[in-house]
Structure 1
Amino acid sequence: MQKTLKSIFSLGLFILLTFVPCGLLQAAEIEILSERLQNSLNTNKKRELFTFLSEEIAKDIVEEYDQFIKNFPNAKWEIKPIKKKGSNQNFIKIIVSGDKEKGDHKYSLMSQKEIVVIEDSGKIVSKKILSDYSILKTGKNLLNVNINIPDAVLTGSKYDIDIILEKPLGSSIIAGGIISLTQKSKAKNNNQAIELIPMGSGGIFKSTRAPIKAGEQRWGALLAHPEGLISITKMVRVVSDPKELLPQIIYP
């Protein structure tokens, strides 16, 4: 009887694995891995990362984690899988947020990445960043901004960069500036000087052209207003094939 039940169970498992789409099984794995990653970071269990991430990816995440915690000890991670129309790849959205107060000033950080990952035998073994931006706000009153910068553009194409204050400051004068960040500066973790010029109260508006060579552009922007400062960084992928432009994201 026990042998018969075991055979039935094995047959049922075989049928289940045969007829359940591979994409659904992968999606379940990615959801589990996303939850493990979120829990490990929010509970400061960095060693656990090496059990379900490749060594290279784990080291990169630990380095970023240490930098966030150093500046914002209360930083929290929110990590979840996302779906995209027309793609069967595995995508993950990572949001890091933190805040602190020093004297009369408040500091608030929000960073968001969307990455595509490859999973193998319960481990994330490869990743590629599809979009990446961060906002650091300081001052007595933290204003909100909308970032209208594309995640990906075609080589040589013209595109707009708009950083808009949600609540324009009326007659108040603000100063702002935006520059293209170099990989050299990023690697050395140096800040490039941003020249601030007076502008209207609505925000920063710029038109630019993508390089003719595929790769990435990184932008750094700074807004100075009567209530404080807003610092923004944003990555733009430069692609040569229209198929590499991101499909629409469907959030769960």
Structure 2
Amino acid sequence: MLLLLRASLATVLSAAAMMSALPAIAARGANATLSARLQQALNAEDRVQALSALMAPDQAETLIERFRRFSKRFPETRWAVRPGQSLADGRSTVNLAVSGTRQQDGLSYSFKAKQRLAFSTDGGLITGQEVLSDQSVLTSASKPLPISLLIPDTVLTGSRYDVDVVLDQPLGKALLAGGLIAVTPQQVLAQQSPDVQLEPLGGGGLFKSVQAPFQPGPQTWAALLVHPDGVITVSKRVQVVDDRSQLTP
């Protein structure tokens, strides 16, 4: 069970690290054109070669290595890329989503992740990017275990907010255990699996009240829920801001 938990955390952190590097690619034309080209490359038969053809040379090595590591953990995936609304400062945004399933050792693995990114361009190349929101969910179970993530994308510095991972189906007589831990940016990039302390949970999910740091920046959480039918692993990046106008509605 411990190996399964650590492998699950490694998978969601691998996705977070790899997706964070995706915007650093060559981009020409409108935002919608960039989205279409990126989606085509990510779903190509030879994804590594297709992505390499889109990326600036100085950005290719890091992304391709992360992509290979992620693909080994979850080889069957489907990507969707959609243009988003521009920000007040004029930067364009892109919405990325990836999903996949596989069967192994009698368990059904279901993986879903999504990310919203802001980027700027110069001379046809994306020169800067910012992760606005990011979350991943990996379920390894003998039957579906749908959940709802009730976690904000943005919060104010120093504020308290809720991190809730809720099972959509009643527990009945089943017992549930889980835990939550903060993950550093270094752990995300290195795809390191933190040790999560599990404790009995009641009420059909994990419900935690946490505090945002007093400095703006990202705050990433990793959560584990252990159910008799399987394991649910969650990674969520929350953006901490010091201006109410930056809060996501």
TM-score, normalized by the shorter chain, greater than 0.5: yes
Q: Distance in 2 between matches of 1:133 and 1:147?
A: 9
TM (normalized to structure 1)?
A: 0.80
Structure 1 residues without counterparts, runs of 5 or longer:
1-25
Match of residue 228 from structure 1:
230
CA 133–65 in structure 1, closer or farther in 2 if over 3 Å, else same? same
Residue 35 of structure 1 is matched in structure 2 by 36
Q: Which amino acid in 2 is paired with 1:200?
A: G
Superposed, which structure 2 residues align to 1:52-201 within 5 Å?
Answer: 52-83=54-85, 88-201=90-203
Flag the 1:224–1:217 CA change in 2: closer, same or farther, 3 A. same
- Corresponding residue number in structure 1 for 2:219: 217
Code of the residue aligned with 1:62 in structure 2: it is I
Q: Note the alpha carbon deviations across 1:162-199, whole angstroms, 9 max, x for none.
A: 11111121232101111111234334322111111111
SS in 1 for 2:30: helix
The 2-side partners of 1:153 and 1:129 are apart by: 15
Equivalent residue pairs, number: 222
For 2:190 and 2:170, locate their aligned partners in 1 and report how far apart those are by CA, in whole Å. 35
Unpaired runs of 5+ residues, structure 2, are: 1-26
- For residue 126 of structure 1, give the secondary structure of its aligned residue in structure 2: strand
Q: State the AA in 2 paired with 1:148.
A: L
RMSD across aligned positions (CA): 2.3
The aligned counterpart of 2:14 is: none
Q: Which structure's relative contact order is higher, taking Cα pairs within 8 Å and 6+ residues apart?
A: 2
TM-score by length of 2: 0.81
* Matched residue SS, 2:148: strand
- Any conservation in 1 of the 2:28–2:34 contact (CA below 8 Å)? no
1:239 paired to 2:247: no
Larger radius of gyration: 1
Q: How much has 1:205 moved relative to structure 2?
A: 0.6
Conserved 8 A contact 2:39-2:79: yes
